[in-house]
Structure 1
Amino acid sequence: MLNPNFMLIYVKDAKRSRHFYAELFDRDPVEESSYFAMFVLDSGLKFAMWSREKVLPAPTEQAGGSELVFSVDSDAALEALYSEWTGLGIAVVQQPARLDFGYSFVALDPDGQRLRVYAPAEDTIE
């Protein structure tokens, strides 16, 4: 059985993205070079970025076609994270809103990768 545990995104500037995500995750990468950086998150997920010009075969898609999703425990936790991220100057493309699956907002990383934060709706929590 396959068990995905690694997410890799393509970026324009790995050093800039490394600093962005180090601040966002409040940790340093476990591996990095001038064109690559990898973080290991508390969930065990490995999250890495790779400079677009170094990827083989060369990627054809641009950012924004997928989302890195962060769940939080409550609406209050979401509001606090929203305030923190906007205070850091992170671009927000969807203000906090109540959706079918919960309370959510969407921000962008420096390359336009979508970062969704959500607090699950009460009836979706297992």
Structure 2
Amino acid sequence: MTEIEDIPLSVADPEAAARFYSGLLRRRPLEAGPDRAVFVLAPGRTLSLWRAVAPASWQNERDVEFRMEAVSSVDELHIDWWDRGARILLPPMDMSGGRGFLARDPDGNRLRVFAAG
């Protein structure tokens, strides 16, 4: 049996979040509606954007990790995401074992991008 890793994120407006992530991920959602949107990130890995039903103060922030193949793609993706409205918390930097940056989506979820190098 194939296991699917789903990354669920709480968002205020799944349709607006789907438009935001469509730009970042450069793909359309597999499913999108007023209560949920789903993106396939890789075979067996999905990102689900669920309408938040609890007050924002009750929501836990989530981290989503995006592993890049090449260290050079980290800087390129940083510029692209900046242009598409992601809030950059930490700019690209060399870290032990690679390079990465940290961004935040409009709903406050943290997006970690890195490549081993």
TM-score > 0.5, shorter chain as reference: yes
1:94 partner SS: strand
- Relative to the length of structure 1, the TM-score reads 0.79
Which whole-Å deviations, capped at 9, do the CAs of 1:6-27 have from their partners, x for residues lacking one?
1111111111111111111222
Summarize the Cα distance change of 1:3–1:100 in structure 2 as closer, same or farther, 3 Å threshold: farther
Q: Runs of 4+ in structure 1 displaced over 3 angstroms?
A: 1-4
**Equivalent position amino acid for 1:6 in 2:** D
Map 1:74-89 onto structure 2 (within 5 A): 74-89=70-85
Alpha-carbon separation, structure 2, partners of 1:109 and 1:119 = 20
Structure 1 residue 39 displacement after superposition = 1.2
Alpha-carbon separation, structure 2, partners of 1:20 and 1:75 = 24
Map 1:32-51 onto structure 2 (within 5 A): 32-51=32-51
- Relative to the length of structure 2, the TM-score reads 0.85
Q: 1:111 aligned to 2:111?
A: no
Larger Rg: 1
Alpha-carbon separation, structure 2, partners of 1:78 and 1:108 = 16
Matched residue, 1:62:
60
1:92 to 88, 91, 99: 88
Alpha-carbon separation, structure 2, partners of 1:50 and 1:14 = 6
Alpha-carbon separation, structure 2, partners of 1:80 and 1:10 = 27
- Structure 1: give runs of 5+ residues left out of the alignment: 122-126
- Structure 2: give runs of 5+ residues left out of the alignment: none
Q: Would you say how many aligned residue pairs link Structure 1 and Structure 2? A: 115
Structure 1 residue 104 displacement after superposition = 0.7
Greater per-residue strand proportion = 2
Matched residue, 1:101:
97
Matched residue, 2:5:
5
Summarize the Cα distance change of 1:44–1:4 in structure 2 as closer, same or farther, 3 Å threshold: closer
Structure 1 residue 83 displacement after superposition = 1.2
